[in-house]
Structure 1
Amino acid sequence: MNFSSWPTLLVADIEGNGNNPPDLVEVAVFPVRDGQADKTTAGAWRTKPNRPVTPFAARVHGLTNQVLEDKPGWEEIRDEVHTMLGTAWIAAHNAHVDYRVLSAHLPKWQPAGVIDTLRLAKATYPDLPKHSLDALIEHVAPDLREAPAQRHRATFDAYATAQLLIAMADRYETWEHLVAAAVPPGLPGAPEPEQEPSQW
């Protein structure tokens, strides 16, 4: 894969407060440049949700109401997150969720396309029993020594997803082949379905 041919791509991950629909408590974004996750220009934000973090969510990601008490509200960081995302492609694991929640929080945001590393993993490793982030980390064994925070934090998960995307992308010849395998139908950037030739 020639990574220099890629458009601007940002790997994103979010954590929520446990409500449905969720309030955001953390957003992380890692640009991928020349086949590397670029930590120097990454973005990470923690934000105090409008509704309290549920005990279950706090146990998963460790971001308790007390930890978030002095963090800015979403309205204070929204424009900064929107500017970072811009109109670039984004990638996320089980990207439907991240895209839906981010779109709800950023109504004017329109990414160029959305790569789902879960969909890509199923195409790349069809014989793997599971394609969760943990299963892929175990199978691919990416170098996560420089990953910030820990599993289930947006910063760690976005960094891990970036490393997994880079490893999987190397199995595809071109960006177009990658997109065909990784963009779910109905999401931005999905290839147009091939039309049956007309008989008339």
Structure 2
Amino acid sequence: MNPSTWPRLLVVDVEGNGATPPDLVEIAVVPIDGGLARPEQAKCTLVRPPHPITRFATGVHHITNQDVIGAPTWESIAEAVQQDLDGAWIAAHNASVEYTVLGRHLPAWKPAGVVDTLRLARAALPDAPKHGLDALITYTGLDTSNIPGKRHRAAYDAHVTALLLLELARGYATWDDLIKAAVPPQMPGAPGPDHEEQPLW
């Protein structure tokens, strides 16, 4: 498959404050364009949440309440984020998280489709011992040495997920084949059931 023929696709990652439901504390978007991940075109920002970041959440992504004191609120950037996302497919690892969180923060937004690299990896690499992002980085031998930042930060995770998607896509002949494996049911972009023509009698 030639990824340069794909529709506009943005790999997204979000980090939350640990609340239920979570408030955003960081969001990153990395385009895939011309068949390549484009981190130089990435957009990433911290977000000051309305409620403090929990100690547990800080333990995962290492973003502290001090880090976000000077960050913009979601209300101040929501319109710009939606403009960036409008009309595009999104991709993420365990994409239901990003889709759900972004949908709650952007109630007027709906992506063209949702590619889940976790779902895709389970289909493409059934023999992998695990399908979490760290395990897949190791299993596929992805070179992450040039990715700035650290795991569990939005820009890093979006970049590595973009590379993983391109790697997994090698096993599919067409975009349609890819989305059949990668788009969860009932999510935007999911292919409909194949309808065989029924006889009249």
TM-score by shorter chain over 0.5: yes
Aligned-pair CA distance for 1:35: 2.2
Pair 1:107-2:103 in alignment: no
Structure 1: 4+ residue segments shifted above 2 A: 195-200
Q: Which moved more, 1:141-150 or 1:40-49?
A: 141-150
Aligned-pair CA distance for 1:45: 1.2
* Structure-1 residue corresponding to 2:59: 59
Q: Which amino acid aligns with 1:21?
A: P
* Structure-2 residue corresponding to 1:7: 7
Aligned-partner Cα distance in 1 for 2:147–2:103: 26
* Structure-1 residue corresponding to 2:138: 138
Any unmatched runs of 5+ in structure 2? none
**Matched positions, count:** 200
Q: Secondary structure, in 3 states, of the residue corresponding to 1:30? A: strand
Aligned-pair CA distance for 1:40: 2.1
Aligned-residue CA RMSD (Å): 1.0
Any unmatched runs of 5+ in structure 1? none
* Structure-2 residue corresponding to 1:127: 127
Q: Secondary structure, in 3 states, of the residue corresponding to 1:82? A: helix
TM-score by length of 1: 0.97
After superposition, the C-alpha distances for 1:123-177 in whole angstroms (9 at most, x for unaligned) are 0001112100011011112121232310000111000100000000011111111
Aligned-partner Cα distance in 1 for 2:158–2:107: 22
Aligned-partner Cα distance in 1 for 2:144–2:81: 25
Q: State the percentage of identical aligned residues.
A: 53
Q: Which amino acid aligns with 1:32?
A: I
For the 8 Å contact 1:7–1:89, the answer to whether it is kept is yes
* Structure-2 residue corresponding to 1:191: 191
Aligned-pair CA distance for 1:80: 1.4
